[in-house]
Amino acid sequence: MAADEPIRLVPPDPGWPDQFEAERVQLEEAIGGWVVGGIHHVGSTAVPGMEAKPIIDILVGVRDLDEARATFEPLAQQDYLYAPYLPEEMHWFCKPDPSNRTHHLHLTPVDSQRYRDELAFRDKLRSDPALAERYAALKRKLAARFPRDRDAYTDGKTTFISRCL
């Protein structure tokens, strides 16, 4: 597997919602039969005006992880690469590969805390510009400190997210 690309934050792009919508339509066609909780735009690109890594994060609500394994082949045909990241909580994919990511996909059971938290955090950031700016400032600090360590960058956001929820 190729090396991870460095963490790079970019100014908000007004095209991100359209990029998500185009991908949502393709995902609905490819795996719609397994979707029970919708296909949602999450992460920083889903928050208007927020700088972000230029990667569209997508949350798909599924019934359970075992049943969702049947989506792996249709997703591979859409250039999604499976990675066993937090496999007890979700099935995680990137597109097209770790060195050139355009999309992250999270297949998550709709009855899980993770599913509810992903949507709740996005909605809090959308509704509270001051909170969104504090989160953006934290991300800038972490990206500068850990430009090539995605785990440390992600771990550095955990306390902030937990407090928000």
Q: Write the CATH number for 158.
A: 3.30.460.10
Does any domain span residue 2? no
Q: Which of the four pLDDT bands, split at 50, 70 and 90, describes residue 87?
A: confident
Asked whether the predicted pLDDT for residue 32 surpasses 50, the reply is yes
User: Each residue of 107-148: pLDDT tens digit?
Assistant: 999 999 999 999 999 999 999 999 999 999 999 999 999 998
Does any domain span residue 99? yes
- Global pTM reads 0.92
Does any domain span residue 136? yes
Contact 62, 36 (CB under 8 A): yes
Does any domain span residue 25? yes
Residue 59 CA to residue 66 CA, distance in Å, equals 17
Residue 150 corresponds to which tokens in the numbers above? 């995605």
- Mean pLDDT value of segment 156-165: 93
Which residue range is the domain that position 43 belongs to?
16-164
21 C-beta neighbours (distance < 10 Å), count: 12
Number of domains forming the structure of the chain: 1
Does any domain span residue 4? no
Does any domain span residue 7? no
Does any domain span residue 5? no
